[in-house]
Amino acid sequence: MHSKLPDVGITIFTVMSRLAEEHGAINLSQGFPDFDPPEALLDRVQYYLRSGRNQYPPMMGVPSLREALAGKVRDVYGLEVDVEREVTVTSGATEALFCAIAAVVRSGDEVIVFDPAYDSYEPAITLQGATTRHLTLAAPGYRPDWEEVAAAISPRTRAIVINTPHNPTGAAWPAEDLQALERLVVQHGLYVIADEVYEHIVFDGRRHESVCRYTDLYQRSFVVSSLGKTYHCTGWKIGYCVAPPALTAEFRKIHQYVTFTSHTPTQLGLADFLAAHPEHHEQLGAFYQAKRDLFLRLLEGSRFAVLPSAGTYFQLLDYSAISDETDKALAERWTREVGVASIPLSVFYAAGQQAPVLRFCFAKDDATLTRAAEILCRL
């Protein structure tokens, strides 16, 4: 059989989580919390489970959740969006990213992606018959070289995929990066797929520079986010996409034949909680900054070098003073032999560029982080 994705195997997140489970390792690899969502949110979902709200919701998402999301976009980013024509609830951000790419990318097109990149982007591009053009974000800031981006744009370039706050590096692009992107998008008539799933997890007084803040940029963009990331419920797989009406119309043509819709009681419960408790997303950055700071304090006696994390719930650590092994070999060995699982940075590069860097997830209970750091400090 001829594979449409011959170079795609099982995602590294599945591999490392499975390895961690097999060896009883502390799992700081895959990006999910080891604590529950807020109790009030669980109560609202349970209420709808028991209240006869278990059948299909509207294809674009339940009205109350779309209204709550539109209100959040207005309050946080100052953008008024049409609930009916610009907000779509999806089965996770990965589905939304796929639908956005499929909506505008055609066979023969090129799409610019910045490495290190989340691993779902290129397969979605490839399945459209398009080519991924990889540009590299340089350490330690992991921000684009906009002259390089401009030089990479060709008549075949159709779209640019961006991710800020950035997985895996924890970088958060400042306003000048979004302004530079906006100029190029308008000049060349490109589309943007903006992966903003960590939108509320930024640190040290920074402001998340959403595409929604930039009027001309938004008009050519799909802005994708994740309620699972924001509300500590990644297993519920609820995301959303905000896009102008013409793009949303194309997006929904794909979405209705991919998942059609998403779990009804979960949507209704999230709508209630978002409307009643905006302080949750408003305080989320401080919540995770405290975990980042705790993790780094606990590692102060270690031989790791810290690469700055400005957002997300990931921390990069340079292990060059400890080992000269490749990052993938070391991540697997430490999971088996030491008991802490991480993600090797090289898997986020198309060419597998090597650097002595591992990604650790600190979206964990403080006791989990303390146990992990005790082990890492002994290395």
pLDDT given for residue 11 in this prediction = 84
DSSP one-letter code for 36: P
Does residue 152 share a domain with residue 62?
yes
Does residue 275 share a domain with residue 130?
yes
Q: Give the HSE-up count for residue 160: Cα atoms under 13 Å, Cβ half-sphere.
A: 26
Average pLDDT, the chain: 97
The string of pLDDT tens digits covering residues 43-55 is 999 999 999 999 9
Instruction: Kindly tell me if the per-residue pLDDT of 289 is higher than 80.
Output: yes
Residue 6 lies in a domain: no
Q: Is-contact 86 248, C-beta < 8 A?
A: yes
Polymer length of the chain? 379
Would you call 301 exposed, middle or buried from its count of C-beta atoms within 10 A (0-12, 13-18, 19+)? exposed
Q: Among 71-75, 92-96, 140-144, which stretch is predicted with the lowest mean pLDDT? A: 140-144
Does residue 181 share a domain with residue 110?
yes
Does residue 311 share a domain with residue 254?
no
| Residue 264's pLDDT band (cuts 50, 70, 90) | very high
pLDDT given for residue 166 in this prediction = 98
Residue 142 lies in a domain: yes
Report the share of the chain in percent with pLDDT over 70. 100
Instruction: Kindly tell me if the per-residue pLDDT of 352 is higher than 80.
Output: no
Q: Which of 246, 280, 314 is the last residue of a domain?
A: 280
Does residue 110 share a domain with residue 75?
yes
Residue 88 lies in a domain: yes
Residue 114 lies in a domain: yes
The CATH number assigned to the domain holding 237 equals: 3.40.640.10
pLDDT given for residue 14 in this prediction = 87
Residue 328 lies in a domain: yes
pLDDT given for residue 308 in this prediction = 87
Q: Which of 249, 265, 280 is the last residue of a domain?
A: 280
| Residue 2's pLDDT band (cuts 50, 70, 90) | confident
**Host domain of residue 26:** 12-30+283-377
The string of pLDDT tens digits covering residues 234-263 is 999 999 999 999 999 999 999 999 999 999
Q: Among 55-69, 174-188, 344-358, which stretch is predicted with the lowest mean pLDDT? A: 344-358
Does residue 266 share a domain with residue 155?
yes
Residue 325 lies in a domain: yes
Report the share of the chain in percent with pLDDT over 90. 94
pLDDT given for residue 345 in this prediction = 95
**pTM of full prediction above 0.85:** yes
Q: Give the HSE-up count for residue 321: Cα atoms under 13 Å, Cβ half-sphere.
A: 11
Q: How far is CA 374 from CA 46, 290, 297, in A?
A: 38, 18, 11
Identify the CA nearest to 273 among candidates 312, 238, 223. 238
Does residue 24 share a domain with residue 134?
no
The string of pLDDT tens digits covering residues 301-335 is 999 999 989 999 999 999 999 999 999 999 999 99
Q: How far apart are the C-alpha atoms of 161 and 288, rounded to whole Å?
A: 25
pLDDT given for residue 102 in this prediction = 98
| Residue 351's pLDDT band (cuts 50, 70, 90) | confident
- Which residues make Cβ contacts (< 8 Å) with residue 298, sequence separation at least 6? 369, 370, 373, 374, 377
Residue 196 lies in a domain: yes
Does residue 190 share a domain with residue 51?
yes
Identify the CA nearest to 44 among candidates 283, 239, 230, 271. 271
Does residue 317 share a domain with residue 201?
no
Q: Which of 260, 280, 300 is the last residue of a domain?
A: 280
Residue 5 lies in a domain: no
Instruction: Kindly tell me if the per-residue pLDDT of 9 is higher than 90.
Output: no
The CATH number assigned to the domain holding 306 equals: 3.90.1150.10
Which token pair is 2? 């001829």
Does residue 126 share a domain with residue 91?
yes
Does residue 177 share a domain with residue 45?
yes
The string of pLDDT tens digits covering residues 109-128 is 999 999 999 999 999 999 99
Q: How far is CA 358 from CA 90, 310, 329, in A?
A: 31, 16, 11
Does residue 287 share a domain with residue 242?
no
- Provide mean pLDDT across the span 212-217: 98
Tally the domains of the chain: 2
